[in-house]
Chain A
Amino acid sequence: MADLAHENIAHAHSGETRRDFLILTAGALGAVAVGATVWPFIDSMNPARDTLAASTTEVDLAPVAVGQRLTVAWRGKPVFIDHRPAAEIKAAQDVDISQLRDPQTDAERVKKPEWLVVVGVCTHLGCIPLGQKTGDDRGPFGGWFCPCHGSIYDTSGRIRQGPAPLNLALPPYDFTGKTTIKIG
């Protein structure tokens, strides 16, 4: 105790006291405790395990004819699958990517050229672009046209005109067979 008292006096000269030390350590531990208490509450609002478990979708592509477009749900969002005809593939590949707002070659956006798989959510403010159904307005590039604010996508799902900043997003997917894919 005598040593501590001595130390206390010594520290007092430099403006630091045992009380400062105690307040700082107690305060720091208190902050850790508050953080550890608040975190479970915040994390409880993150996707729950049942939500995460529903995050992969398997799709059988065999029935999809050339030129046909298919919409499947993945994590509650639409995923556009386009069985592209040769003309669409060529149109997508021939674009000079230096002219694009979000430059990407068609090859970077597909695993097999005849199958385009994109998230069907406009990158502007989240509407679902038209173009999946026959008779839909596909816009001047033959891809998709967003009715909300007029964003226009090409046959590779790249943004060509309108306010959207980015190309249609690519979901993670793999070919699990010749004509089956697993999204997510």
Chain B
Amino acid sequence: MADERPGAGSRIIRWIDHRLPFLATMEHELYEYPTPRNLTYWWNFGSLAGIMLVVMIATGIFLAMQYTPSALLAFDSVERIMRDVNFGWLIRYAHANGASMFFAIVYIHIFRGLYYGSYKAPRELLWILGVIILLLMIATAFMGYVLPWGQMSYWAATVITSLFSAVPLVGQSIVTFLWGGFTVGDPTLHRFYALHYLLPFVILFVVMLHLVALHRFGSNNPLGIDMKGPQDSIPFHPYYTVKDLFGLCVFLLIYAFFVFYAPNFLGNPDNYIPANPMQTPNHIVPEWYLLPYYAILRSITFSVFGIPAKLLGVILSFGSLFMLFIVPWLDTSPVRSSRFRPIYKWVFWLLVIDVLALGWVGFNPPQGIVVTVGQIATLYYYLHFLILLPVIGKIERPHPLPTSIATAVLGGGASLTSVGSAPIGER
């Protein structure tokens, strides 16, 4: 095996590597890269997200070869992809469901980070880069959803761009600028297509930065304590390449299930009706991955301190994402992993339930109990980050941390048992 390692083989490779140390760097970062020996399957989702980015770019480029970004032809060109282009249905379903898979993976990845305190020093920038990736993903997904130019595409574009009309004084001017006209139309579709093609490469660039920041201090781990020496780590290859590959196979089964057996389950049938600027669908909902933000937007039905409900809804909806930027400083606890945080551990799961509730609210028509639940859930979301996170860090008494990863994993007695009984460890 040693002979097959890059750089050890041919003289040409060594000649190149001496001048352009690409292979040596790759070997260092993907082969020897010391990784905590105790990573669980929750740590698979980073590499899965990276793989999904590649899948989305690959399927997207092949769709772009067949797609026409014109208001007159867009819908028909998508139908042509579905009916006439060889395997066009497969590539389009892989792309459309891929977006859902990508978001599911990234949301799990984010909640993993929240549970195990992966955003804490010295990984604040790593976390911030991740939030930037999420924002870019949302923008990209939104513009991609507009491209098929069905009813949902058209009205999603109208509603989301109209969010900016809440800006005082210049709101309507901004919206006209975004549209390139007085309604969503051909110019809007063209620019969304151009940006939908561009942003994934911006994401790719930020992902590179995310990886550079990750490799600076290495992965966090379920214990949330630093690696203190070689006994705490194992080389990335073969241990985590194999583990990631196995996780990938399991994930691909789920992905393939949606692509082949339920390709429209996550979509909206109204989007198979061509865009009609004269009629809005009766029940308009965004894709599932945007439902919580949508729920917050709709929950604000009252004005506060003279800020109109419309503007406040937009602020709180965007704010729910932007607040993630300051999470490393909102959380005052020095302990990373929730395994050792008896109070926060439960509060974390309340946040998960809260976000799921917001998703449920976003999915249902805003009437009766749904509005009330939405308002409570919105309030709790902000309460979690702005009050609970700083306060719990101050008042909570964390469990004693193990002295090292190696002692905890390879036989640390008491600390090992307590780790085993933590709820996330059983999953």
Contacts and interface: CB of A to CB of B under 8 A. Distances in A.
Nearest to A53: B84
A41 B90 CA distance: 9
B58 A41 contact: yes
B386 to A, nearest CB: 46
Nearest to A47: B86
B88 interface: yes
A75 to B, nearest CB: 16
Contact of A46 (B80, B86, B90): B86
The prevalent SS among residues of A at the interface is: helix
A41 B62 CA distance: 7
Contacts of B62: 41, 44-45
B84 A45 contact: no
A41 B80 contact: no
Chain B interface main SS type:
helix
Interface string A128-158: 0000000000000000000000000000000
B84 A40 contact: no
A5 interface: no
A38 to B, nearest CB: 10
A40 B256 CA distance: 15
B253 to A, nearest CB: 12
A46 B80 CA distance: 14
B84 A41 contact: no
Contact of A40 (B66, B80, B83, B87): B87
Contacts of B65: 44-45
A43 B84 contact: no
A49 B84 contact: yes
A48 interface: yes
Contacts of A51: 84
Contacts of B58: 41
Interface of B: 58-59, 62, 65-66, 80, 83-88, 90-91
- The 6 A-B pairs at the shortest CB distance, nearest first, are namely A40-B87, A49-B84, A48-B84, A50-B84, A43-B86, A48-B85
Interface of A: 40-41, 43-46, 48-51
Given A40-B87, A49-B83, 4 more contacts: A40-B86, A44-B87, A44-B91, A45-B65
23 contacts: A40-B86, A40-B87, A40-B90, A40-B91, A41-B58, A41-B59, A41-B62, A41-B87, A43-B86, A43-B87, A44-B65, A44-B66, A44-B86, A44-B87, A44-B91, A45-B65, A46-B86, A48-B80, A48-B84, A48-B86, A50-B80, A50-B84, A51-B84
